């Protein structure tokens, strides 16, 4: 019976076929799959702003998974405090920009996500500190914060908002694109990712893809007020590049996450060089 069910389910066979391909073929297949997904979203989602809302919702689900992990298992092993701090930083800056520049539903979503992220930071830093693997969370935050700040000063929106607000807006966009790097470093050091952490990082990957789709589709349809206003400088291309970068940073991990789920593995084991 098990063999019959397996024969009727093509997913494991597809995963194994992809696994056997050369790295260049895998990259090509990933690009094709991403492009197909973008065109599908373009057909079924009329209001592209809903993709951004969906992205925030998925991110909130990922945070909820973390909260459940911390509350149930009473351990923060495998989590990066530095990634959470970078997330809180770009959310706080984005929330400020949202208040002073364009107060809307995103402000409410960012507020909820920031509050829960701060709770996770509190739990890791104080309540569950004995289980925090600080020696594995060894990514230096200033390696991303300083370059993002410098880049924000040089390449920023040219809207009518205050100069400082425009720099902060650019800073949070750039910082968001690399905020997951410390978490990837922790997983690189451990090579084994327990289920709740894997669910959280996968949720981040889905969230980043939806956010990337939001900007790419608006650029394709020329519906966003940003692109007509900013087409004569580097800001719009940098926004798109930032979204694409943060999507591809997590693409490899998401592949192995889906593979482990299909194969029924309870613990995700990453090959060398994946993250």
Nearest to residue 132, comparing CAs of 84, 60, 202? 84
User: What pLDDT score does 271 carry?
Assistant: 67
* DSSP bridge partners of 238: none
Could you give the CA distance from residue 180 to residue 245 in angstroms, rounded to a whole number? 11
For residues 185 and 138, is the Cβ–Cβ distance under 8 A? yes
Tokens 């530095």 belong to 82
Give the pTM.
0.79
For 164, the token pair is 């400082």
Backbone phi and psi for residue 146, each to the nearest 5 degrees, phi listed first: -65, -50
Would you write out the chain's pLDDT as a tens digit for each of its 275 residues? 444 544 455 656 665 666 665 555 555 556 566 666 656 666 666 666 777 788 888 888 888 888 988 988 899 988 999 999 999 999 999 999 888 877 667 788 888 889 999 999 999 999 999 999 999 999 999 999 999 999 999 988 877 778 898 999 999 999 998 999 999 999 888 888 888 888 899 998 888 888 888 777 776 665 555 555 445 567 777 887 888 888 888 888 888 888 788 777 777 777 665 55
pLDDT at 1: 45
Which pLDDT tens digit goes with each residue over 178-218? 999 999 999 888 888 888 888 899 998 888 888 888 777 77
Alpha-carbon radius of gyration of the chain: 19
Q: SS3 letters for 122-160? A: HHHHHHCHHHCCCCCCCCCCHHHHHHHHHHHHHCCCCCC
- Cβ proximity of 163 and 152 under 8 Å: no
């Amino acid at each position: 019976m098990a063999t019959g069910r397996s024969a009727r389910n093509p997913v494991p066979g597809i995963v194994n076929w992809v696994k056997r391909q050369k790295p260049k073929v895998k990259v090509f297949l990933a690009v094709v799959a991403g492009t197909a997904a973008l065109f599908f979203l373009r057909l079924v989602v009329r209001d592209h702003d809903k993709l951004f809302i969906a992205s925030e919702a998925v991110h909130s689900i990922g945070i909820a998974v973390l909260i459940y992990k911390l509350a149930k298992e009473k351990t923060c092993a495998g989590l990066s405090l530095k990634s959470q701090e970078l997330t809180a930083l770009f959310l706080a800056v984005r929330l400020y920009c949202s208040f002073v520049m364009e107060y809307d539903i995103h402000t409410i979503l960012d507020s909820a996500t920031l509050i829960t992220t701060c709770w996770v930071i509190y739990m890791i830093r104080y309540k569950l500190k004995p289980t925090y693997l600080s020696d594995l969370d060894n990514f230096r935050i200033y390696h991303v914060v300083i370059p993002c700040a410098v880049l924000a000063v040089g390449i920023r929106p040219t809207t009518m908002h205050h100069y400082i607000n425009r720099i902060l807006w650019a800073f949070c966009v750039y910082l968001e694109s690399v905020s997951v790097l410390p978490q990837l470093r922790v997983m690189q050091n451990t090579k084994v990712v327990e289920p709740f952490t894997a669910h959280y990082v996968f949720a981040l990957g889905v969230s980043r893809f939806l956010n990337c789709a939001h900007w790419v589709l608006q650029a394709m349809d020329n519906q966003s007020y940003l692109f007509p206003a900013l087409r004569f400088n580097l800001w719009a291309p940098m926004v798109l590049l930032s979204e694409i970068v943060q999507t591809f940073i997590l693409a490899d991990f998401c592949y192995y996450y889906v593979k482990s789920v299909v194969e029924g593995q309870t613990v995700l084991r990453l090959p060398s060089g994946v993250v």
